[in-house]
């Protein structure tokens, strides 16, 4: 705290983790309890400690001794000049064969830097030229090869002193019948890394220029080959090699960033591509060697360089290429890194960034953070050691060599002595003694500059004594020879090939000074204490030796353990007992366990540990107490026998429900997602159940106790590391994709964690590990935590949670078949979560009891009906199905099964396919929404013997009147025929009249299976009520009769009255305009139920012409438009006029119409009487065409077909259109009856297999009775006349005409409406009652409407037609009013009844009101007129 005096002392420190209460358990779900087998896991495990053995080779340390001698051959003092020391490029050219070579020669080629041309070019590019030797004989000496390269080359020889050649081998068997030539590039112009020599490796006789002047090698085996290798590749460096140090330093761990390097050399500046901040030496090497002015570099990592903040990188870049070195002349000094090598950071590459507060941020934006890339030191190369002995001390020589070639060739351990040739300074010798740790050091070469050569003086380096180093081979067990410097991978492969060894990991340390190595062998796949590897030596070198040592003894399980249940304990069980042995032991030891299944889970671990899954299979054993393991007799570090409940067992109780919920994520002390507010481990919870959704009733509560024996670690990250902690102990960093072994070994390395097992699985964006704690310090395992991670990206997370609760809890002692509301909450160190707002619901329930109210009914000799009632327990609506079983034996050993769906209180099931006379036993069980688990409750068994029966009742019986002495009877066959096919039906309608027996073969059927029978009998009387019954009959006999519920009376329309007279007065003082018609009632033996009469009258000669209007419209003026008119008096005849101008005169239009159909060959004379007038419209013309109306002809009288117009614009823009309308339908004298066509048509087999029925209706009537598909004309006529809207019709059948819709004609009927006046509505057809075996069939009706789809004719109302229908049934006469004197009239009478309307007309009579002689004049008077 601070006041005016100053600051007080600081408080003590404390820390906390931001966290809150657990989230709400929205995942909570519940359900009724089923039988669940208890499953427990048994894990036998021990801590993982792998066997580790080391294999070490060694030799005595003998130091390398070399001398560097500078001397003047003339005895002159060496008072000027400089020299350099280097390791020369060495290449070995060797040829070999499988048998002695008798002839042959080869060539050599070498592409090297042309220093003079490169300087002359001046563009920053290295120019090369190529050495080509002549053919070198296979017997060539070292001197021959040297001369071939230096002075006898056919192109670009290297010059005297360029190389030193040593030949090895003697062409004997031991040297593969060949020679080897070691070529060292010692000349001034050939320093550093030289390109590899090339040749014809097949020795086929090719020469250096591509010809064949060389001799191919000849041997008996014909297998000679040439090989060229560079044993010191990229190690040709020395004090004359230019070099530069490159340092990358940062205050923070660099996450990303790039830089470039530039080289200014040979007149050009070249810059590399962007180099990543974490590039290794090879990456930097490749980037530089991609430049045109760099031929070779060697990049070495400075591992011993001081690491600022522990996150720096340091490289030494040796410009080791021939083109980077001096050629010994002043004209080509080589590259000078001090002025020619630089770092480029100009913004063209990715900027350097680090994570600041887990956010990727530029270094420039992070306070007190810096990153730098520098070249703190350089070396220009060339000749840097003074040849004057007084100026170059032994320390100067050792320092120069160490700086130039450490660590490539030797370490810092070197001693140099100087001795003078004489006091005159004519020579000096430097003796170099290398440390014992350097082994056999490469021989140095000494080169002097031009000043030294001008003395003249020379410089020579020579090896006095080689250092002791290993060579040769060694053996491991029965292996093949293993090279002394074998790689870790080579040794690993050798060991893994040994019998009994599966998987090892081998690492190799650095070579010591004698090229001795130590290989560390970790036995990854072999458990326990592994036998020590046996090694044999064939190594060469002073005191060469090999030794194998066990570094760490591998841990392995052994001994026995026991398992206990309640107060019973097993005998000792071997740690590696198989599942069968453990199963047998449990069954022998535990009296309450009769059925248990044990399976091994997964593979055996490296310690010999294994896991088993124990499933308790006894019926209704429920929740088994956890087995207790006794592991005191197990051996091995961390040995444990651990038992864990995997699945909680449960009985199928009707008073219990299970609880399931997902454990929340984010409830761990770790970097959980930002969306989580938990952040602390779950410590417990509460589950509540209540019948009341508000939980204000009798609430039952159960506590939840979390088990941290299994924990799930989930990491979502791309890269980086994380750590886990247990009781404050923290693991080493683990990669984001750590293997199961890495996680296990890291946890078992913690002090309080002894034995765990780990499994890993991939998830979206990362991995998760399931960690099972088997042995640990303390009573119960603690929650894992995780400190701040180093994962990328910044929003990566580490979550640790428990396994989900999958039916891990049960609520018991609840009320069956009542819905419970269940809620839950979890608790952590911060308190309780809220209860889930929407409670889960479940109903405790169990399987149904056995069904009751059982009975059997014999149906036939092979069928029995089983009746049963719903089970007494549980709601009936919960029953989803029944299973019925029947068998010839009461034990139901081989039952037949039928599944039944029924939700009624009483159910029926018919079972067929039984044997006549055989006794059968039946039982049934109910199933509801509860899963059946071998706990089905079967009913008691009933038995019956099937025998054949008479048919059962017909169904769906209905009777309809269809004529005065006819009824139409419709019924469905019985659902059961009693075992024999039904052959006939018996129809009865009167006690005193015999029944009618109808064979099934004679009946036709509707598609829904109903039969239709037209019952005509003279005993049926019109308007008398009859009750019809139907019985089915088979071989056994007649079934019971089914009686129609309602009595039905046959009926029909009245017959026609008889007109007795139609007359007018003979005289009258007024004009005679009336006529009186009289009639007698219809003569009928039936009661027609007449309710009234109608009188109709009409003119005998009055006509009305047809008028059609042709209109041509346009939207703009026309000039070229033309149109035509066509006329089709029948469907098969059409005639068209010539093209008419758009403004044709009325006369032209009339002429074209009159001439329709005319030709020289024939004159159809389609239109004879027509009158045309034209009128002008606002946007066109109208032509009025009047047809007929001729006193001499009737050709075009009546309602005729409309004309059809067609227009052609012929380029006009006025969008012309032609329309034709009828403004007055024509009527002919006496009118015309409507004729409609009815056709039954089909396709394919439908034309021959059609059956069934159809119905018709007219206007607002109901449908007729069913009409047979093959009805005759009378049946159709009779059916239509039963309709109240249809009077007298005449139906004729003519099946010889064609079909009008293109289908095949089956029947054709012409229906003439004799008493329905005018153009009547089309008949409506319902043909859904037709049946076909295949193909199609349908009924078409063609109306008389001039549509030209058929030859049907429209009805026309007669002229001056009128009627009166207000006479009652007693009327016998009627006076017709308003007649025209002198005009003939026709008249007729029709009777009607309530149900069927009007019957046929009476005979038609005619009358003409008389024209009288005028009467005498009245009121005659005379007046005088004066003229």
Mean pLDDT of 216-243: 92
pLDDT at 852 over 70: yes
User: What is the layout of strands, in order, in the sheet containing 805-811?
Assistant: 29-32, 657-661, 805-811
Would you state the structure tokens that stand for residue 211, as one six-digit string?
């010809």
Residues 675-704: pLDDT tens digits?
Answer: 778 999 999 999 999 999 999 888 999 999
pLDDT, position 309? 41
pLDDT at 1239 over 80: yes
pLDDT at 1160 over 70: no
| Spatial separation of the C-alpha atoms in residues 322 and 113, rounded to whole Å | 7
**Angle, CA of 841, 847 and 851, to the nearest 5°:** 135
Mean pLDDT of 936-959: 94
- Per the prediction, the chain carries an average pLDDT of 92
pLDDT at 411 over 80: no
DSSP annotation of 1236 reads E
pLDDT, position 1086? 67
pLDDT, position 585? 96
| Spatial separation of the C-alpha atoms in residues 1346 and 1319, rounded to whole Å | 10
Cβ-based neighbours of 157, under 8 Å, separated by 6 or more: 131, 149, 150, 151
Strand positions, DSSP E, 199-301: 218-219, 225-229, 243-250, 254-256, 258-265, 268-271, 275-276, 298-301
Name the band, by pLDDT with cuts 50, 70 and 90, for residue 1: low
DSSP annotation of 99 reads S
pLDDT, position 934? 83
pLDDT, position 2? 58
pLDDT at 308 over 50: no
pLDDT, position 11? 46
Name the band, by pLDDT with cuts 50, 70 and 90, for residue 8: very low
pLDDT, position 313? 86
Share of the chain above pLDDT 70, in %: 97
Quick one: CA torsion of 481, 487, 492, 493, rounded to 10 degrees? -60
Judge whether 724 and 734 are in contact, CB under 8 Å. yes
pTM of the model: 0.51
pLDDT at 334 over 80: yes
| Spatial separation of the C-alpha atoms in residues 856 and 921, rounded to whole Å | 10
> Which region among 87-91, 605-609, 721-725 has the lowest average model confidence (pLDDT)?
605-609
Cβ neighbours around 997 below 10 Å, total: 14
Cβ-based neighbours of 332, under 8 Å, separated by 6 or more: 115, 116, 119, 326
| 74 or 732, greater pLDDT | 732
pLDDT, position 435? 84
pLDDT, position 996? 94
Residues 479-532: pLDDT tens digits?
Answer: 999 999 999 999 999 999 999 898 999 999 988 888 899 999 999 878 788 999
| Spatial separation of the C-alpha atoms in residues 126 and 294, rounded to whole Å | 7
pLDDT at 1161 over 80: no
Judge whether 981 and 1059 are in contact, CB under 8 Å. no
Quickly tell me which residue has 């209706």 as its tokens.
1257
Mean pLDDT of 883-901: 95
Judge whether 1316 and 1356 are in contact, CB under 8 Å. no
| Spatial separation of the C-alpha atoms in residues 1250 and 1247, rounded to whole Å | 6
| Spatial separation of the C-alpha atoms in residues 506 and 491, rounded to whole Å | 7
> Which region among 7-11, 66-70, 761-765, 810-814 has the lowest average model confidence (pLDDT)?
7-11
Residues 584-604: pLDDT tens digits?
Answer: 999 999 998 999 999 999 888
> Which region among 292-306, 487-501, 1099-1113 has the lowest average model confidence (pLDDT)?
292-306
Own/partner pairs for 1248-1251, CB < 8 Å, 24+ apart?
A: 1249/1332, 1249/1333, 1249/1334, 1249/1335, 1250/1306, 1250/1330, 1250/1331, 1250/1332, 1250/1337, 1251/1004, 1251/1005, 1251/1330, 1251/1331, 1251/1332
pLDDT, position 698? 87
Mean pLDDT of 464-493: 93
Mean pLDDT of 1163-1171: 82
pLDDT, position 1169? 86
Judge whether 639 and 555 are in contact, CB under 8 Å. no
| DSSP secondary structure letters along 983-1040 | -EEEEE--TTS--EEEEGGG-EE-TTS-EEEEEE-TT--TT--B--EEEEE-SS-B--
pLDDT, position 1412? 85
Nearest Cα neighbor of 1142 from 1200, 1217, 1086, 1044 is 1217
Cβ-based neighbours of 1248, under 8 Å, separated by 6 or more: none
pLDDT at 647 over 80: yes
| Spatial separation of the C-alpha atoms in residues 531 and 519, rounded to whole Å | 17
Mean pLDDT of 613-632: 94
Name the band, by pLDDT with cuts 50, 70 and 90, for residue 1133: confident
Quick one: CA torsion of 141, 142, 143, 148, rounded to 10 degrees? 90
Name the band, by pLDDT with cuts 50, 70 and 90, for residue 1425: low
Name the band, by pLDDT with cuts 50, 70 and 90, for residue 287: very high
pLDDT, position 993? 81
pLDDT at 674 over 80: no
pLDDT at 306 over 60: no
pLDDT at 10 over 50: no
Mean pLDDT of 1388-1404: 94
Name the band, by pLDDT with cuts 50, 70 and 90, for residue 5: low
């Amino acid at each position: 705290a601070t006041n005016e005096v100053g600051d007080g002392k600081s408080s003590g420190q404390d820390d906390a983790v931001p966290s809150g209460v657990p989230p709400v358990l929205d995942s909570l779900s519940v359900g009724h309890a089923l039988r669940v087998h208890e499953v427990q896991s048994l894990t036998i495990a021990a801590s993982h400690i792998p066997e580790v053995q080391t294999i070490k080779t060694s030799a005595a340390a003998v130091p390398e001794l070399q001398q560097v001698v500078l001397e003047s051959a003339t005895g002159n003092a060496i008072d000027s000049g400089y020299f350099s020391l280097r390791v020369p490029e060495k290449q070995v050219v060797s040829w070999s064969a499988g048998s002695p070579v008798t002839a042959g020669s080869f060539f050599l080629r070498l592409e090297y830097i042309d220093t003079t041309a490169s300087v002359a070019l001046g563009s920053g590019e290295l120019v090369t030229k190529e050495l080509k030797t002549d053919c070198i004989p296979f017997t060539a000496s070292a001197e021959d090869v040297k001369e071939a390269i230096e002075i006898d080359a056919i192109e670009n020889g290297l010059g005297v002193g360029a190389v030193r050649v040593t030949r090895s081998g003697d062409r004997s068997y031991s040297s593969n019948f060949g020679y080897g030539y070691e070529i060292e590039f010692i000349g001034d112009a050939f320093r550093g890394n030289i390109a590899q020599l090339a040749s014809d490796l097949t020795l086929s006789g090719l020469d250096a220029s591509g010809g064949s002047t060389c001799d191919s090698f000849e041997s008996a085996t014909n297998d000679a080959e040439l090989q060229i290798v560079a044993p010191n590749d990229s190690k040709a460096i020395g004090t004359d090699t230019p070099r530069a140090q490159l340092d990358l330093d940062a205050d923070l761990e660099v996450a990303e960033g790039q830089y470039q390097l530039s080289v200014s050399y040979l007149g050009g500046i070249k810059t590399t591509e962007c180099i990543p901040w974490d590039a290794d030496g090879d990456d930097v090497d490749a980037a530089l060697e991609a430049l045109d002015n760099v031929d070779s570099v060697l990049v070495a990592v400075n591992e011993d360089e001081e690491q600022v903040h522990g996150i720096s990188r340091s490289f030494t870049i040796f410009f080791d290429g021939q083109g980077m070195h001096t050629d010994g002349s002043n004209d080509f000094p080589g590259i000078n890194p001090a002025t020619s090598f630089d770092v480029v950071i100009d913004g063209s590459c990715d900027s350097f960034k680090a994570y600041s507060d887990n956010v990727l941020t530029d270094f420039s934006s992070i306070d007190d953070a810096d990153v730098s890339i520098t070249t703190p030191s350089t070396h220009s190369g060339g000749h840097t050691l003074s040849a004057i002995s007084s100026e170059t001390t032994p320390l100067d020589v050792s320092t120069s060599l160490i700086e130039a070639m450490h660590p490539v060739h030797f370490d810092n351990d070197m001693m140099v002595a100087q001795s003078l040739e004489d006091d005159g300074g004519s020579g000096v010798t430097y003796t170099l003694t290398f440390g014992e740790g350097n082994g056999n050091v490469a021989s140095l070469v000494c080169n002097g500059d031009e000043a030294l050569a001008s003395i003249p003086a020379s410089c020579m380096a020579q090896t006095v004594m080689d250092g002791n180093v290993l060579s040769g081979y060694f053996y491991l067990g029965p292996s093949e020879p293993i090279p002394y410097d074998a790689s870790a991978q080579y040794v690993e492969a050798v060991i893994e090939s040994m019998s009994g060894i599966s998987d090892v990991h081998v690492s190799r340390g650095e070579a010591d000074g004698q090229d001795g190595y130590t290989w560390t062998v970790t036995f990854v796949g072999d458990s326990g204490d592994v036998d020590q590897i046996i090694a044999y030596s064939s190594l060469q070198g002073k005191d060469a030796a090999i030794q194998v040592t066990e570094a760490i003894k591998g841990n392995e399980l052994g001994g026995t353990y026991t398992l206990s249940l309640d107060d019973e304990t097993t005998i000792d069980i071997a740690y590696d007992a198989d599942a069968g042995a453990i199963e047998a032991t449990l069954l022998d030891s535990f009296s309450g366990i009769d059925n248990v299944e044990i399976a091994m889970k997964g593979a055996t671990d490296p310690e010999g540990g294994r896991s088993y899954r124990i499933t308790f299979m006894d019926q209704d054993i429920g929740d088994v107490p956890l087995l207790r393991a006794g592991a005191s007799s197990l051996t091995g570090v961390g040995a444990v026998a651990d038992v864990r409940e995997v699945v909680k067992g449960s009985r199928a109780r009707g008073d219990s429900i299970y609880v399931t919920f997902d454990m929340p994520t984010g409830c761990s002390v770790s970097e959980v997602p930002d969306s989580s507010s938990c952040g602390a481990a779950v410590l417990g919870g509460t589950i509540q159940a209540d019948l009341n959704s508000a939980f204000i009733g009798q609430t039952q509560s159960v506590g939840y106790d979390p088990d941290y024996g299994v924990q799930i670690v989930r990491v979502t990250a791309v890269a980086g590391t994380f750590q886990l902690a247990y009781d404050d102990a923290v693991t080493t960093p683990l990669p984001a994709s750590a293997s199961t072994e890495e996680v296990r070994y890291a946890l078992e390395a913690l002090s309080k964690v002894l034995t765990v097992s780990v499994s890993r699985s991939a998830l979206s964006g990362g991995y998760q590990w399931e960690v099972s704690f088997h042995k640990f310090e303390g009573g119960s395992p603690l929650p894992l935590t995780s400190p701040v991670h180093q994962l990328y990206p910044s929003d990566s997370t580490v979550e640790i949670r428990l396994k989900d609760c999958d039916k891990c809890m049960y609520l018991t002692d609840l009320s069956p078949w009542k819905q419970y509301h269940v809620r839950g909450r979890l608790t952590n160190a911060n308190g309780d979560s809220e209860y889930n707002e929407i409670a889960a619901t479940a109903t405790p329930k169990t399987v149904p009891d056995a069904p009751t109210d059982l009975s059997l009914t014999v149906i036939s000799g092979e069928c029995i009906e089983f009746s049963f009632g719903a089970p007494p327990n549980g709601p009936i609506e919960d029953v989803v199905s029944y299973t019925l079983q029947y068998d010839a034996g009461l034990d139901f050993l081989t039952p037949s099964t039928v599944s039944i769906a029924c939700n009624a209180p009483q159910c029926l099931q018919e079972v067929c396919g039984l044997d006549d006379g055989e006794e059968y036993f039946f039982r049934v069980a109910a199933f509801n929404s509860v899963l059946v688990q071998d706990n089905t409750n079967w009913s008691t068994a009933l038995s019956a013997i099937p025998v054949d029966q008479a048919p059962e009742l017909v169904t769906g019986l209905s009777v309809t009147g269809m004529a005065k002495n006819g009824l139409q009877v419709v019924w469905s066959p019985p659902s059961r025929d009693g075992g024999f096919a039904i052959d006939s039906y018996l129809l009865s309608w009167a006690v005193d009249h015999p029944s009618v027996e109808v064979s099934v073969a004679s009946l036709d059927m509707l598609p829904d299976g109903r039969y239709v029978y037209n019952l005509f009998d003279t005993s049926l009387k019109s308007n008398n009520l009859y009750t019809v019954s139907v019985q089915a009959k088979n071989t056994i006999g007649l079934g019971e009769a089914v009686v129609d519920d309602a009595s039905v009376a046959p009926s029909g329309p009245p017959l026609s009255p008889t007109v007795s007279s139609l007359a007018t007065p003979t005289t009258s003082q007024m004009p005679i305009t009336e006529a009186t018609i009289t009639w007698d009632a219809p003569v009928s033996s039936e009661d027609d139920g007449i309710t009234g009469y109608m009188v109709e009258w009409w003119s005998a000669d009055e006509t009305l012409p047809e008028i059609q209007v042709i209109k041509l419209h346009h939207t703009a003026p026309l000039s070229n438009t033309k149109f035509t008119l066509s006329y089709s008096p029948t469907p098969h005849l059409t005639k068209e006029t010539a093209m008419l101008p758009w403004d044709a005169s009325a006369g032209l239009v009339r002429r074209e119409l009159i001439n329709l159909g005319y030709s020289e060959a024939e004159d159809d004379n389609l239109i004879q009487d027509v009158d045309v007038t034209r009128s002008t419209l606002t946007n066109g013309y109208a032509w009025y065409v009047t047809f007929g109306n001729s006193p001499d002809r009737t050709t075009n009288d009546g309602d005729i077909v409309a004309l059809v117009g067609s227009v052609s614009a012929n380029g006009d823009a006025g969008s012309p259109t032609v329309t034709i309308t009828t403004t007055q339908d024509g009527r002919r004298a006496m009118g015309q009856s409507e004729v409609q066509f009815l056709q039954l048509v089909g396709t394919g087999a439908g034309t021959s297999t059609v059956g069934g029925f159809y119905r018709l209706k007219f206007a607002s009537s109901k449908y007729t009775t069913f009409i047979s598909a093959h009805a005759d004309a009378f049946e159709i006529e009779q059916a239509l006349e039963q309709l109240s809207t249809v009077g007298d019709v005449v139906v004729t059948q003519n099946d010889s005409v064609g079909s009008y819709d293109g289908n095949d004609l089956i029947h054709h009927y012409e229906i003439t409406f004799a008493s329905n006046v005018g153009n009547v509505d089309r008949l409506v057809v319902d043909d859904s009652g037709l049946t076909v075996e295949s193909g199609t069939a349908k009924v078409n009706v063609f109306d008389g409407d001039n549509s030209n789809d058929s030859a049907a004719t429209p009805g026309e109302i007669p002229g001056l037609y009128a009627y009166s229908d207000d006479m009652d049934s007693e009327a016998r006469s009627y006076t017709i009013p308003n007649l025209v004197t002198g005009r003939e009239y026709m008249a007729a009478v029709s009777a009607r009844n309530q149900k069927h309307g009007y019957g046929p007309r009476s005979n038609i009579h005619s009358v003409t009101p008389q024209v009288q002689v005028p009467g005498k004049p009245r009121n005659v008077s005379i007046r005088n007129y004066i003229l």
